[in-house]
Chains A and B, each alone.
Chain A
Protein backbone atom coordinates (compact mmCIF):
# COMPACT_ATOMS: atom_id res chain seq x y z
CA UNK A 1 0.00 0.00 0.00
CA UNK A 2 1.32 3.45 -0.84
CA UNK A 3 2.36 5.89 1.89
CA UNK A 4 -0.54 8.19 1.13
CA UNK A 5 -3.01 5.31 1.39
CA UNK A 6 -1.37 4.09 4.60
CA UNK A 7 -1.67 7.57 6.13
CA UNK A 8 -5.31 7.76 5.05
CA UNK A 9 -5.94 4.31 6.54
CA UNK A 10 -4.27 5.26 9.85
CA UNK A 11 -6.26 8.50 10.06
CA UNK A 12 -9.45 6.55 9.39
CA UNK A 13 -8.62 3.97 12.09
CA UNK A 14 -7.95 6.71 14.67
CA UNK A 15 -11.25 8.43 13.82
CA UNK A 16 -13.03 5.05 13.89
CA UNK A 17 -11.68 4.26 17.36
CA UNK A 18 -12.68 7.74 18.57
CA UNK A 19 -16.23 7.15 17.37
CA UNK A 20 -16.33 3.75 19.11
CA UNK A 21 -15.02 5.39 22.32
CA UNK A 22 -17.73 8.05 21.98
CA UNK A 23 -20.35 5.34 21.51
CA UNK A 24 -19.17 3.46 24.63
CA UNK A 25 -19.11 6.68 26.65
CA UNK A 26 -22.67 7.61 25.61
CA UNK A 27 -23.83 4.02 26.22
CA UNK A 28 -22.28 3.99 29.71
CA UNK A 29 -23.72 7.41 30.52
CA UNK A 30 -27.21 6.45 29.38
CA UNK A 31 -27.16 3.21 31.42
CA UNK A 32 -25.88 4.97 34.56
CA UNK A 33 -28.34 7.86 34.24
CA UNK A 34 -31.27 5.55 33.63
CA UNK A 35 -30.39 3.39 36.64
CA UNK A 36 -29.58 6.15 39.10
CA UNK A 37 -32.36 8.62 38.27
CA UNK A 38 -36.09 8.34 38.28
CA UNK A 39 -36.70 9.84 34.87
CA UNK A 40 -39.88 10.31 32.86
CA UNK A 41 -40.71 7.79 30.16
CA UNK A 42 -39.66 10.28 27.43
CA UNK A 43 -36.29 10.97 29.07
CA UNK A 44 -35.71 7.24 29.58
CA UNK A 45 -36.55 6.58 25.93
CA UNK A 46 -34.29 9.39 24.74
CA UNK A 47 -31.41 8.15 26.91
CA UNK A 48 -31.90 4.54 25.80
CA UNK A 49 -31.64 5.55 22.13
CA UNK A 50 -28.86 8.12 22.54
CA UNK A 51 -25.98 5.66 21.78
CA UNK A 52 -27.34 5.47 18.22
CA UNK A 53 -26.21 9.08 17.61
CA UNK A 54 -22.44 8.32 17.62
CA UNK A 55 -23.19 5.28 15.47
CA UNK A 56 -24.83 7.57 12.87
CA UNK A 57 -21.65 9.67 12.84
CA UNK A 58 -19.62 6.45 12.58
CA UNK A 59 -21.72 5.38 9.59
CA UNK A 60 -21.01 8.74 7.91
CA UNK A 61 -17.28 8.26 8.59
CA UNK A 62 -17.30 4.75 7.08
CA UNK A 63 -19.23 5.91 3.98
CA UNK A 64 -16.78 8.79 3.43
CA UNK A 65 -13.87 6.37 3.83
CA UNK A 66 -15.49 3.95 1.37
CA UNK A 67 -15.75 6.76 -1.21
CA UNK A 68 -12.03 7.49 -0.85
CA UNK A 69 -10.97 3.88 -1.51
CA UNK A 70 -9.88 2.51 -4.88
CA UNK A 71 -12.33 0.65 -7.11
CA UNK A 72 -11.08 -2.85 -6.22
CA UNK A 73 -11.31 -2.37 -2.45
CA UNK A 74 -14.73 -0.76 -2.97
CA UNK A 75 -15.92 -3.83 -4.87
CA UNK A 76 -14.56 -6.15 -2.15
CA UNK A 77 -16.24 -4.08 0.58
CA UNK A 78 -19.51 -4.00 -1.36
CA UNK A 79 -19.56 -7.76 -1.88
CA UNK A 80 -18.60 -8.40 1.75
CA UNK A 81 -21.42 -6.17 2.93
CA UNK A 82 -23.86 -8.06 0.68
CA UNK A 83 -22.72 -11.34 2.25
CA UNK A 84 -23.07 -9.92 5.75
CA UNK A 85 -26.53 -8.45 5.15
CA UNK A 86 -27.59 -11.70 3.49
CA UNK A 87 -26.33 -13.93 6.32
CA UNK A 88 -27.74 -11.73 9.11
CA UNK A 89 -31.00 -11.19 7.19
CA UNK A 90 -31.45 -14.94 6.60
CA UNK A 91 -30.62 -15.69 10.24
CA UNK A 92 -33.11 -13.05 11.43
CA UNK A 93 -35.77 -14.41 9.08
CA UNK A 94 -35.14 -18.00 10.23
CA UNK A 95 -35.31 -16.85 13.85
CA UNK A 96 -38.56 -14.95 13.21
CA UNK A 97 -40.18 -17.91 11.46
CA UNK A 98 -39.01 -20.29 14.19
CA UNK A 99 -40.34 -17.96 16.90
CA UNK A 100 -43.79 -18.19 15.28
CA UNK A 101 -43.80 -21.97 15.76
CA UNK A 102 -41.84 -22.72 18.91
CA UNK A 103 -40.54 -21.06 22.07
CA UNK A 104 -37.12 -19.58 21.38
CA UNK A 105 -34.78 -17.53 23.59
CA UNK A 106 -35.21 -13.79 23.13
CA UNK A 107 -32.71 -11.91 20.95
CA UNK A 108 -32.08 -8.18 20.93
CA UNK A 109 -32.14 -6.54 17.47
CA UNK A 110 -29.45 -4.17 18.85
CA UNK A 111 -26.91 -6.89 17.99
CA UNK A 112 -27.79 -6.92 14.31
CA UNK A 113 -25.58 -3.99 13.28
CA UNK A 114 -22.50 -5.32 15.15
CA UNK A 115 -23.19 -8.75 13.61
CA UNK A 116 -23.31 -7.23 10.11
CA UNK A 117 -20.08 -5.31 10.78
CA UNK A 118 -18.25 -8.40 12.10
CA UNK A 119 -19.39 -10.74 9.30
CA UNK A 120 -18.61 -8.07 6.69
CA UNK A 121 -15.10 -7.67 8.16
CA UNK A 122 -14.51 -11.44 8.10
CA UNK A 123 -15.73 -11.65 4.48
CA UNK A 124 -13.37 -8.79 3.53
CA UNK A 125 -10.39 -10.53 5.12
CA UNK A 126 -11.25 -13.78 3.31
CA UNK A 127 -11.68 -11.98 -0.04
CA UNK A 128 -8.43 -10.00 0.30
CA UNK A 129 -6.42 -12.97 1.63
CA UNK A 130 -5.68 -14.24 -1.86
CA UNK A 131 -4.07 -10.91 -2.81
CA UNK A 132 -1.65 -10.82 0.10
CA UNK A 133 1.39 -12.25 -1.63
CA UNK A 134 3.18 -10.60 -4.51
CA UNK A 135 3.69 -12.94 -7.47
Chain B
Protein backbone atom coordinates (compact mmCIF):
# COMPACT_ATOMS: atom_id res chain seq x y z
CA UNK B 1 0.00 0.00 0.00
CA UNK B 2 1.25 3.49 -0.88
CA UNK B 3 0.77 6.42 1.47
CA UNK B 4 1.27 10.19 1.73
CA UNK B 5 2.39 10.07 5.32
CA UNK B 6 5.81 11.65 4.79
CA UNK B 7 4.32 14.52 2.80
CA UNK B 8 1.59 15.16 5.37
CA UNK B 9 4.08 14.98 8.21
CA UNK B 10 6.38 17.45 6.46
CA UNK B 11 3.44 19.81 5.81
CA UNK B 12 2.72 19.82 9.54
CA UNK B 13 6.41 20.19 10.39
CA UNK B 14 6.43 17.12 12.62
CA UNK B 15 9.30 14.71 13.10
CA UNK B 16 8.62 10.98 13.11
CA UNK B 17 9.02 11.02 16.88
CA UNK B 18 6.44 13.80 17.25
CA UNK B 19 3.92 11.98 15.08
CA UNK B 20 4.61 8.74 16.95
CA UNK B 21 3.92 10.52 20.24
CA UNK B 22 0.62 11.88 18.93
CA UNK B 23 -0.39 8.39 17.80
CA UNK B 24 0.92 6.59 20.90
CA UNK B 25 3.16 4.28 18.88
CA UNK B 26 6.93 3.87 18.51
CA UNK B 27 8.95 5.99 16.07
CA UNK B 28 9.96 2.77 14.34
CA UNK B 29 6.28 2.09 13.60
CA UNK B 30 5.88 5.50 11.91
CA UNK B 31 9.08 4.91 9.93
CA UNK B 32 7.93 1.44 8.85
CA UNK B 33 4.55 2.80 7.67
CA UNK B 34 6.19 5.67 5.79
CA UNK B 35 8.62 3.37 4.01
CA UNK B 36 5.89 0.86 3.17
CA UNK B 37 7.41 -1.90 5.32
CA UNK B 38 4.29 -2.11 7.42
CA UNK B 39 0.64 -1.64 6.54
CA UNK B 40 -1.17 -0.21 9.57
CA UNK B 41 -4.24 -1.79 11.12
CA UNK B 42 -7.60 -0.13 10.56
CA UNK B 43 -7.44 1.32 14.09
CA UNK B 44 -4.07 2.96 13.45
CA UNK B 45 -5.14 4.10 9.97
CA UNK B 46 -8.16 5.84 11.52
CA UNK B 47 -5.91 7.40 14.18
CA UNK B 48 -3.60 8.69 11.41
CA UNK B 49 -6.52 10.06 9.41
CA UNK B 50 -7.87 11.77 12.54
CA UNK B 51 -4.44 13.26 13.34
CA UNK B 52 -4.08 14.77 9.87
CA UNK B 53 -7.79 15.67 9.57
CA UNK B 54 -8.15 13.66 6.38
CA UNK B 55 -9.98 10.55 5.24
CA UNK B 56 -8.14 7.21 5.18
CA UNK B 57 -8.34 6.97 1.37
CA UNK B 58 -6.71 10.39 1.10
CA UNK B 59 -3.66 9.06 2.98
CA UNK B 60 -3.49 5.45 1.85
CA UNK B 61 -3.95 4.15 -1.65
CA UNK B 62 -3.41 0.69 -3.20
CA UNK B 63 -0.24 0.00 -5.17
CA UNK B 64 -0.85 -0.06 -8.90
Contact = CB atoms under 8 A, between A and B. Distances in A.
Interface of A: 1-5, 69-73, 75-76, 128, 130-132, 134-135
A30 to B, nearest CB: 38
B21 A2 contact: yes
Contact of B35 (A1, A3, A135): A135
B16 A73 contact: no
Interface of B: 6, 15-17, 20-21, 24-29, 31-35, 37-38, 40-41, 44
- SS class, residues of chain B in contact with chain A: helix
B54 to A, nearest CB: 21
Which 7 pairs of residues, A with B, have the shortest CB-CB distance? A72-B29, A2-B21, A70-B25, A131-B28, A131-B31, A134-B16, A72-B38
A134 B31 contact: yes
Given A1-B28, A71-B38, A134-B27, 6 more contacts: A70-B26, A71-B41, A128-B28, A131-B32, A134-B16, A135-B6
A98 B64 CA distance: 50
Identify the interface centre among A2, A76, A132: most chain B CB within 10 Å of its CB: A2
A4 B21 CA distance: 8
A71 B37 contact: no
